[in-house]
Amino acid sequence: MMNNTMTDNKSLGRSPTGETNIERIVMQRVHLIRALRFAVSSSALSMLVTVAALWGIGREVWVDRVLQNAPANLLNLPQFYFSAFMNTHLIVQVLVVLTIGALIYVAREISRALAFISAAKGV
């Protein structure tokens, strides 16, 4: 009896769990679309905020001069950038914090989407 069931499943293109290949493929696509929808909407907005904030920083700060004035010693870089951050206008400080926050949010959303996709593949 068991041998006939396995033969029937193979002839119908079913896995040992009884799921057909079409069902498996459709469910993988549903999981992928759900993960992308979840990640794209908020991530797209966050990337737009990042680009706008970087554009604002570029308009307010002469970035080339800041990079030219950076010390060659890597140990002095954190102190230099902290000092440069503290001695800028408030709008630049807000834009820098906004950029960092938006990039962290995008990284979080990407990692959540990847975790969701890998969990869906494991099912």
88 is a domain residue: yes
User: With a cut of 70, which residues of the chain have pLDDT below it?
Assistant: 1-19, 38-40, 120, 122-123
Structure tokens at 69: 């004035």
pLDDT of 113 = 80
State how many domains the chain has.
1
pLDDT of 24 = 82
40 is a domain residue: yes
16 is a domain residue: no
**88 burial via Cβ count (<10 Å: 0-12, 13-18, 19+):** middle
Place of tokens 């033969």: 7
pLDDT of 1 = 47
> Whole domain around residue 109: which residue ranges?
36-122
pLDDT of 15 = 57
pLDDT of 10 = 52
22 is a domain residue: no
